[in-house]
Amino acid sequence: MRKTFGAFGSLLIAACLTGFTASLPADQPVPGLIRVGMAQTFFHDIPKPLVQLVTDPFGGIMRQTTGLDGRLIVGGDAFEIAQKVESNEYQLGVFHGFEFAWVQQKHHELKPLMIAVNAQHSVTAYVPVRKDSEVTSFCDLKGKDFSVPKRTKEHCRLFLERTCLDGGPCGSKAFFNQVVSSASVEVALDELCRGNLQAAIVDSIGLEFYKDLKPGCFARLKVLKQSDPFPQPVIAYRQGVLSDATLAKFRDGLLSAHRIERGRDMMKLWKINGFEAVPVNYAQGLADCLKNYPPPEVAKVSRR
């Protein structure tokens, strides 16, 4: 069951962000249908048929809560999604918070509609090591064995790669002796406790899950390095495309999804708190994120 949670958890969180069915062909025009784009970065290590299988049932939940019909279209990167929202090929886009900070620099008309939050309300990356490890800084991990578990969230991958550049400068594959693709966070942290790995990258949900699951093993670990909080994932729209009434219906429906039984079961089972209004400090969080994590091309130029 724990491995099943790991395999499907990121899929369902992404599906819950939109709740639209993907069962119709992406190029088939349907009057009144809201097309929602989501970047492939939400689905690391997930086969496409499994994405389809898991996301299909959520269309009914969204129709029940919002009264709207829509289609989730997964594929491409955040910049492609933003361009299609800008051109009205998609009416909404789903982005990681840091991705939204990147694309909003070019597409100024993109606005956040609402955010998705996890049980910890924190989008943070952690690098745990054993408490008895001689490693005292991230630079000490150079040449060591490191785990990036399968289905690791994109903000963790970004934090890891940028930290390796700061300590190298080089990417993770050159920085470490080997990068192990552990089957799950649990497997990675078990191996870390046994001394078979020197460190791993995990998010706040994974770390808390392991703490509850294996408190004795967790007590043998310490956090060597952690990121500042990233902005939460966001559902965004282009101003002037959808009416205010449609946007309000969509937003209010997602906010009330926990009131129906299927919605409550879904959020409880997959440890999702739900959806919230965009906080007043969200724009500042995006600005701070850009300082620490400039867009990929800008980051490359700044390190030449």
Nearest-angstrom CA–CA distance, 65 and 256:
7
Domain ranges of the chain: 2-120+231-296, 125-226
Residue 17: what pLDDT? 45
Q: What pLDDT is recorded for position 273? A: 77
- Is residue 104 classed as helix, strand or coil in its secondary structure? helix
Please say whether the beta carbons of 140 and 134 come within 8 A: yes
* CATH superfamily, domain at 2-120+231-296: Periplasmic binding protein-like II (3.40.190.10)
Distance of CA 15 to the CA centre of its chain: 11
Q: What pLDDT was estimated at residue 122?
A: 85
Backbone φ, ψ for residue 249 (5° rounding): -65, -45
Q: Would you tell me which CATH number, out of the four given (1.10.8.100, 3.30.420.110, 3.10.180.10, 3.40.190.10), belongs to the domain 125-226?
A: 3.40.190.10
Give the count of beta carbons closer than 10 Å to the beta carbon of residue 109. 12
pTM of the model: 0.85
pLDDT of 105: 94
Which pLDDT does position 170 carry in this prediction? 73
Task: Provide the 3-class DSSP secondary structure of residue 196.
Answer: coil
**pLDDT the model gives residue 34:** 86
Residue with tokens 């440890």: 271
pLDDT along the chain (304 residues), means of 10: 44 43 46 82 80 64 81 88 95 95 95 88 94 94 95 95 82 91 96 96 94 96 96 94 93 82 64 82 96 78 44
| H helical segments located in the chain | 2-18, 48-55, 58-66, 78-86, 97-104, 154-167, 172-175, 185-194, 204-213, 215-218, 244-255, 261-269, 282-292, 296-302
> Which pLDDT belongs to residue 14?
44
For 301, the token pair is 């130029």
Whether 2-120+231-296 shares its CATH topology with 125-226 is answered: yes
pLDDT score at 231: 96
Q: Which helix (H) or strand (E) holds 44?
A: none
Distance CA 1, CA 4 (A): 5
